[in-house]
Amino acid sequence: MTAIDIANHEQLKASNPKISAFVAASAGSGKTKLLTDRLLRLMLSGTPPEKILCLTYTKAAAAEMAIRLSRRLGEWAVSSDEHLDAELTKLDVPTTA
């Protein structure tokens, strides 16, 4: 297993909404993607968005999170079933396939 494989595996584990995770990493390391993935997994598991509290340190980070979530959900809304299944598989979410 390469260092990238290990990092990807650790990011997938940290995005699991069923566990607590503390993430500390340098800029550009994927923290926002990890948090976005975690939020998507929470919503896909049935958690209503209004029940989710997601904190960031800056308004810019909060805006970036909103943009990324909206973009992903918008892409998924018009995706083929195959593409959507592939995206959900990347998030470790069960699919219909």
Over the chain (97 residues), the average pLDDT of each successive run of 10 is: 86 86 83 91 93 87 93 96 93 79
Q: Report phi then psi at 54, rounded to 5.
A: -125, 115
Whether 95 is in a domain gets the answer no
Q: What is the pLDDT of residue 5?
A: 87
Q: What is the pLDDT of residue 97?
A: 59
Assign 80 to helix, strand or coil. coil
Q: What is the pLDDT of residue 46?
A: 92
Whether 96 is in a domain gets the answer no
Question: Token digits for 52?
Answer: 């989710």
Question: Token digits for 59?
Answer: 């308004």
Q: Which domain covers residue 39, as residue numbers? A: 3-90
Whether 97 is in a domain gets the answer no
Total number of domains in the chain: 1
Q: What is the pLDDT of residue 27?
A: 83
Question: Token digits for 15?
Answer: 């995005």
